[in-house]
Chains A and B, each alone.
Chain A
Amino acid sequence: MPKDHGIGARNKRREDVRFLTGTGNYTDDINLAGQAYVHFLRSDVAHGRIKRLDTSVALEMPGVVRIFTGADFEGVGGIPCGWQVTDRHGNPMQEPAHPVLAQGKVRHVGDAIAAVVAETPAQARNAAEAIELEMEDLPAVVDMKAALADGAPKVHDDLDSNLCYDWTFGSDDATVQAAFDSAAHVTTLDLVNQRLVANPMEPRVAVGDYNRASDESTLYTTSQNPHVIRLLMGAFVLGIPEHKLRVVAPDVGGGFGSKIFHYAEEAFCTFAAKALKRPVKWTASRSEAFITDAHGRDHVTTIELALDADNNFTGVRTHTMANMGAYLSTFAPSVPTYLHGTLMAGNYKTPAIQVNVKAVFTTTVPVDAYRGAGRPEATYQLERVIDKAARELGADPIALRRQNFITEFPYETPVAVAYDTGDYTATMDKLLEMVDRDGFEARAAESARAGKLRGFGVNCYIEACGIAPSALVGQLGARAGLYESATVRVNATGGLVVMTGSHSHGQGHETAFPQVIAEMIGIDENMVEIVHGDTAKVPMGMGTYGSRSLAVGGSAMVRATEKIINKAKKIAAHLMEASEGDIELKDGQFSVAGTDKSVAWGDVTLAAYVPHNYPIEEIEPGLEETAFYDPSNFTYPAGAYACEVEVDPETGKVEICSFAAADDFGNVVNPMIVEGQVHGGLAQGIGQALLEAAVYDADGQLLSASYMDYAMPRADDLPNFKVDHSCQTPCTHNPLGVKGCGEAGAIGSPPAVVNAVVDALQRGGHDVTHIDMPLTPGRVWQAINE
């Protein structure tokens, strides 16, 4: 019987009612009294030097309040980077300045040059057009290889080159070379993991406010992690201490990583509100979002896989160029390194693995974490090269994977992570139950009769999420801890308010978190309220990304609730004149073991706040506890995915006929929400495989900067999904035994699609071993016909 409440129940989401009735409160829904509006004049060239910037005519335009330029930000900090990667010789990455408004030079289309604040959005926009700007065009730096060539134009004049870092990781040179020297077979694959745009449906918005009486600044912003913004913006950009700065992220309309980072517009609105002594609001248009939201992926890789004569994997070696764009966004340096290199073992017991990454500056929008962040890139390389190897060796791709699975846990990989639990055979078995492989030949024959080619592709994935153990990431260059905090406040009448540093941008925290608390105490979920997204209400937090909210934030809640229960038991013991050790809590009742004495949860909470009969010598009144939880390891969700496609060789069009995902997320709190997370991840992964690409031309113009040009997956591009999470190997090191589920779908799905398309073409007699994503009709047709 499925549970109807608590952990494991498919509780409907309480947040849905406001979203379905138009009463959500997104940042753009906030208008403050006296608010002015800012419009940014942005560079329309990729690389240039500002020769003349004359705002005098624009200043006289109707409604203009003030025009800010780079000069107003001299002496103000730049946008900081939160992660410093060092190379194997101990040299730190090259880290350029990232000004709020351009200081003399622009480095990508969309770089902000000036900011016009006016009474209305239209007046601000009109005046921005009247700013006189003369730009000396400099050569665009778009291609990463060209950017690294001797004599390439430099994106940052004060850096040595366009190389941010050259990072090598994993097994030493001799070990890896020996694996390749002794290999019976080596498969090599060159591939591109193309640049994507996260595209949450809610564009970014920032509203700055300043209170002259208290000298407090408030920023309302579309953020996945308001406390991180408070710290980065307060400490590094504007010099405002935390107690004078409040950051509020109300309902957030999706993020997928792109709303982790601290953006210049947030700092600008906060700065300008104080300077002008009135609120300042910025709402991104979608076009603006395309040229200012951090992009994702953009890796160019060569991967080599060494196998022995028995088809055991003996070595993996990769060389990747990773695009950083023009500046280092908040987490950017960590994505191609510690979120990518550490995953190159995949699900396999390959003994020698070495990863080299060269991170490159180009005159493009900064690149940072997008759903999966580094892990999709790792999975794609590995699962594509394995498929190619299977083909070269005439091996069954599933059998080849199974034979190389890690089967004993814990398992230390050669790339510095230790998998705690997993059962890759179980998820593969489950996957094969979900797909009708026996019927494939008949379906393929049916397709052939219609002139189509049918293919089947499979892949595995593992990811490291639940980010992250602070001590470990500190050694790896993180400039912050990655714990989470929770404060549980029990009210006198028994209701609970949980203040969590995790913030929802669609994940249903307000529904799932109370299920955990309710289960622990044995009360109804409706007695638990979740408060998040406001630094004035929640003491501390690191936010939501890296599939960490339940594994890390939920664990903090568990720890705080345990403290609550411990204290409540002391009070209950006093009320029942029993020994604390004999008190049991079940279904919201405290009882004395072996007796019929009991007091209700509400009696104890009331006693805590009305301490007339209370152990006042031993404990304080009140019932409120805080816990910080710092995980001791990542969590390692894993699974196996399968895709069946039909390719029209006449047009190159690919249709997804079916997609199945068997995941192991450990214990599951709300299966409905987990399945929804997988669906969304699959859609983004399939979008990457077939449709999406951020395309720059040689001049650094973003050609795909609107929904007319960037192919977002639509309802009729996608199939129904078969998903399963019944294979559960609980995480061993967090109190809930949970693993992250938010990114899995996006990590695991692209290789299944590409493997299936290559399979279809091969079955059709076309000697195609690889096509770079997105597998548009044009690319597929070209692969067939050239």
Chain B
Amino acid sequence: MTDVTMTVNGKAVSGNIEGRTLLSDFIREGLRLTGTHVGCDTSQCGACVVHVDGKAVKSCTMLAAEAEGADITTIEGMATPDGSLSVIQQAFQDHHGLQCGFCTPGMVMSAAALLAENPSPTESEIRKYLEGNICRCTGYHNIVKAIMAASGQSVAGVAAE
């Protein structure tokens, strides 16, 4: 068993865990932050994406022990301080960028990471960036539209409906 300490959504947290504990398990089971989802076991689906020191990481692919001292943000930390939806979250609602909601936390975390490194991505850049996030409900159309909108770009070019 190992002790780990990290900051999650601005709060210092610690735990005593088995060395093999994945970061996703620590977040979900240790911290009971169940917004981070696990949709596959091969690091393909991206439902578990969180930010580790500002970078988008599939939390099922990282040991919790590797996150020692790190600054983690999960979907629970994405709303504005007054509790209202952030620009990206709001854009997902406005443009119907989610249906069942299971892939959504990972999508939002990936979208935030994309816009942090590329504030005005093209549609094609968005689609390529989301290669590691699988959505089975939306056909991605409205996710792409939401991210375009969140970046302040016109969505008129994204086929109307």
- A-to-B contact residues, CB < 8 Å: 12-13, 15-26, 28-29, 31, 122, 199-203, 251-254, 256, 285-287, 505-508, 671-673, 675-676, 679-684, 706-708, 712-716, 718, 720-724, 745
Contact = CB atoms under 8 A, between A and B. Distances in A.
B97 to A, nearest CB: 9
B131 interface: yes
16 contacts: A22-B35, A22-B78, A201-B134, A253-B39, A286-B42, A507-B99, A675-B96, A676-B137, A679-B138, A683-B136, A683-B138, A713-B139, A715-B127, A715-B144, A716-B127, A718-B127
Given A24-B102, A507-B99, A682-B139, 19 more contacts: A17-B93, A18-B101, A19-B100, A20-B78, A22-B74, A122-B20, A199-B136, A201-B134, A254-B100, A287-B42, A676-B99, A707-B45, A712-B44, A714-B140, A715-B130, A716-B127, A718-B139, A721-B141, A722-B159
Given A15-B101, A19-B101, A707-B40, A722 B76 contact: no
A720 B34 CA distance: 32
A676 B138 contact: yes
B13 interface: no
Contacts of B130: 714-716
Nearest to B40: A286
A684 B133 contact: no
B136 A680 contact: yes
Where chain B touches its partner, the secondary structure class is loop
Contact of A19 (B18, B104, B126): B104
B11 interface: no
Contact of B137 (A16, A680, A708): A680
Contact of A506 (B99, B140, B158): B99
Contacts of A715: 126-128, 130-131, 133, 135, 140, 143-144
Interface in B136-161: 136-144, 158-161
B138 A203 contact: no
B116 interface: no
Interface in B59-101: 74-76, 78-79, 85, 89, 92-94, 96, 98-101
B108 interface: yes
A505 B101 CA distance: 9
Contacts of B33: 22
Contacts of A745: 139
Contact of A724 (B89, B98, B161): B161
B100 A720 contact: no
Contact of A254 (B92, B137, B141): B137
A22 B105 contact: yes
Contact of A20 (B38, B108, B138): B108
A17 B140 contact: no
Given A12-B94, A287-B41, A201 B47 contact: yes
Contacts of A716: 124, 127-128, 130-131
A29 B137 contact: no
A472 B133 CA distance: 43
A523 B141 CA distance: 33
A12 B94 CA distance: 6
Contacts of A707: 40, 42, 44-45, 134
Interface in B18-67: 18, 20, 28-29, 33-42, 44-45, 47
A720 B37 contact: no
A723 B138 CA distance: 13
A254 B93 contact: no
Contacts of B99: 254, 506-508, 676, 680
Contacts, number: 190
B103 interface: yes
Contacts of B34: 22, 25-26, 28-29
Contacts of A253: 37, 39, 100-102
Contact of A285 (B41, B74, B133): B41
A680 B45 contact: no
Contacts of B93: 12-13, 16-17, 20
A321 to B, nearest CB: 28
Given A16-B98, A26-B102, A673-B96, A679 B142 contact: yes
A535 to B, nearest CB: 21
Nearest to A506: B100
B153 to A, nearest CB: 14
A722 B20 CA distance: 47
A723 B159 CA distance: 9
Nearest to B29: A31
A22 B100 contact: no
A506 B104 CA distance: 11
Interface bracket on B:
35 or more
Nearest to A287: B41
Given A715-B127, A724-B161, A201 B140 contact: no
Contact of B39 (A16, A203, A256, A676): A203
A130 to B, nearest CB: 18
A20 B144 contact: no
B139 A721 contact: yes
Contacts of B96: 12-13, 672-673, 675-676
Given A13-B93, A201-B103, A706 B40 contact: yes
Contacts of A28: 34, 37-38
A720 B141 contact: yes
Nearest to B39: A201
Contacts of A201: 37, 39, 45, 47, 100, 102-103, 134-137
Nearest to A686: B139
Contacts of A16: 92-93, 98, 101
Contact of A202 (B37, B140, B159): B37
A253 to B, nearest CB: 3
Given A672-B96, A723-B161, A724-B161, A680 B138 contact: yes
A307 B153 CA distance: 53
Contacts of A672: 96
Contacts of A285: 41
A121 B22 CA distance: 13
Nearest to B74: A22
Nearest to B124: A716
Contacts of A13: 93, 96
Nearest to A724: B161
Contacts of A713: 139
Given A201-B45, A706-B42, A24 B136 contact: no
A605 to B, nearest CB: 31
A722 B42 CA distance: 33
A383 B160 CA distance: 27
Nearest to A673: B96
A723 B45 CA distance: 27
A712 B40 CA distance: 12
Contacts of B127: 715-716, 718
Contacts of A199: 136
Nearest to A677: B99
A19 B41 contact: no
Contacts of A676: 96, 99, 137-138, 142
A683 B135 CA distance: 10
7 residue pairs, one from A and one from B, having the closest CB atoms: A22-B35, A19-B101, A253-B102, A506-B100, A683-B139, A707-B44, A506-B99
A713 B105 CA distance: 19
Contacts of B138: 676, 679-680, 683
B28, B33, B98, B124: residue with the most chain A Cβ atoms closer than 10 Å: B98
Contacts of B126: 715
Interface centre among A17, A19, A716, A724 (most CB of B within 10 A): A19
A21 B136 contact: no
Given A21-B76, A715-B131, A680 B139 contact: yes
A505 B98 CA distance: 12
A256 B37 CA distance: 19
B49 to A, nearest CB: 12
Residue of A13, A25, A716 with highest tally of chain B CB at under 10 A: A716
